[in-house]
Chain A
């Protein structure tokens, strides 16, 4: 129970539960035997359940600790001092633990179901509580398994990188004693599109040659070529090969660049044609505007005309009114 308290995110209400049990026991005193047994056996079942749950939780915690150690080891990918054996041991142990935890969790679930079936007055809260506990443990186990998988993938990637580095370093270390020739096999395997890529190799491998200034004593200059030539025979074929390969690579690069240029041109053409449509729309809008404005101007001209001509109509109407007034006056007077 203590262990579970440390890891679980629930509030521990064991004290409340035992208090309730006591009160129930006291209240259901007549049916004491059955009532006593029920809460007690329910409590016993519950405590067994919680004991198992706590054990499983503790085991999950330990497994996750081991997993974090394994992740650290896998991340610490150096060429030398590779803890392969330890990593493999840890991996096996963790796998066993995880499978054991799986089984234990299934048992726990079975126990819960059994306890639920046996006791009738087991409360609803208890069932939900146990269900939640089981779910939580299952989730934690799933997270651990996921982390484990991630660590394994990380490990395989690192191993691949290490293998490549081993190849490179092993080639260098066997030739570092003598002044090696520039082009070597690893160069072909490593994609090196840019020109200066072969050169750092030569720079790095020339450490053995003397660091004297150019007008050096010829005796010194003699020794380094002699050392070189001892390695000569093995290097010839790879040298030719790499030269041809580098030419082939350069050609490939040129071809791909030309392809890219072609696609860029196509995109450019598409964009320009789309914009041409937009330009046509603008043109139409402007023509519509022109038509509208001309029509409006016509209307206004007509309006002006009608305003200037309407005064005559007004005068005529006034005359008619005056005539009507006169008739009216005539009628009255």
Chain B
């Protein structure tokens, strides 16, 4: 359940290459010598997928062991490199959030960008680390997970209530036996007291 990279690109019309506006990647789990090539690979595949995503469309591509998800909204394209276990819906909601955030913070300035910008955007790096867990990105997933936990807890509660019911049943039996015995005791005592002929 890993996100390897998040990219924001400006998707120009089909002929020109998209322009990278922001890039955040997590290559810590690759060997030291592979990191730079992995970064290049990310950049290249991201560019290709973004250029081929039509506007207002979502797209998922399987590339080797990564799934590349792309969401293009009016020229602003967000691309995410996730592994196969990452749920697709959360991926797309994450991309949605990224695009919204970008538009909020940078407005329309990105439209004029002509070459890859190299300044890092802290939000993207934060998003990368925060959303390694898909539940964070997808509210529905979070809600579903919490509901399942609640259901488990409730099942345990019902089990304990059933056990309590059994104990209460045994208690009620014992108490009724006790009341019977005490009644017999009372009657005996009364009987020995009633006949007064003492020999």
Contacts and interface: CB of A to CB of B under 8 A. Distances in A.
Interface of A: 179-183, 195-196, 198-199, 202-203, 205-206, 209-212, 214-216, 218, 221-222, 224-225, 228-229, 232, 235-236, 239-240, 243, 246-247, 250-251, 253-254, 257-258, 260-261, 264-265, 267-268, 271-272, 274-275, 278-279, 281-282, 285-286, 288-289, 292-293, 295-297, 299-300, 302-303, 306-307, 310, 313-314
B52 A209 contact: no
The range of chain B's interface size is: 35 or more
Contact of B179 (A181, A218, A292): A292
Given A247-B140, A279-B168, A292-B183, 8 more contacts: A225-B61, A236-B54, A261-B150, A278-B165, A278-B172, A297-B189, A300-B193, A314-B198
Contact of A209 (B62, B162, B172): B62
A271 B182 contact: no
Contact of B151 (A239, A260, A285, A288): A260
Given A215-B37, A299-B190, A293 B61 contact: no
Interface in B154-199: 154-155, 157-158, 161-162, 164-165, 168-169, 171-172, 175-176, 178-179, 181-183, 185-186, 188-190, 192-193, 196, 198
Contacts of A239: 57-60
B12 interface: no
B168 A278 contact: yes
B89 A209 contact: no
The interface centre, meaning the residue of B37, B60, B150 with most chain A CB atoms within 10 A of its CB, is B60
Given A183-B60, A281-B172, A286-B175, A296 B88 contact: no
B144 A253 contact: yes
Contacts of A286: 175, 178-179
B92 interface: yes
A296 B178 CA distance: 14
B41 A214 contact: yes
A69 B30 CA distance: 60
Contact of B158 (A199, A267, A289, A300): A267
A251 B144 CA distance: 9
A141 B185 CA distance: 74
A12 B57 CA distance: 82
The interface centre, meaning the residue of A218, A221, A289 with most chain B CB atoms within 10 A of its CB, is A289
B104 interface: no
Contacts of A215: 34, 37-38, 41
Nearest to A237: B57
A293 B48 contact: no
B57 A236 contact: yes
Contacts of B84: 199, 202-203
Contacts of B144: 250, 253-254, 257
Interface in B63-115: 63-65, 67, 84-85, 87-89, 92
B148 interface: yes
Given A254-B144, A286-B178, A296-B189, A247 B89 contact: yes
Contacts of A251: 140
B123 interface: no
12 contacts: A183-B60, A202-B60, A215-B41, A225-B45, A228-B52, A239-B60, A247-B140, A271-B158, A272-B161, A296-B186, A303-B189, A306-B196
B179 A288 contact: yes
B93 to A, nearest CB: 9
B60 A289 contact: no
B34 A289 contact: no
Contacts of A199: 84-85, 88
A90 B185 CA distance: 84
A296 B184 CA distance: 9
A268 B161 contact: yes
Interface string B130-159: 000000000011011001101100110110
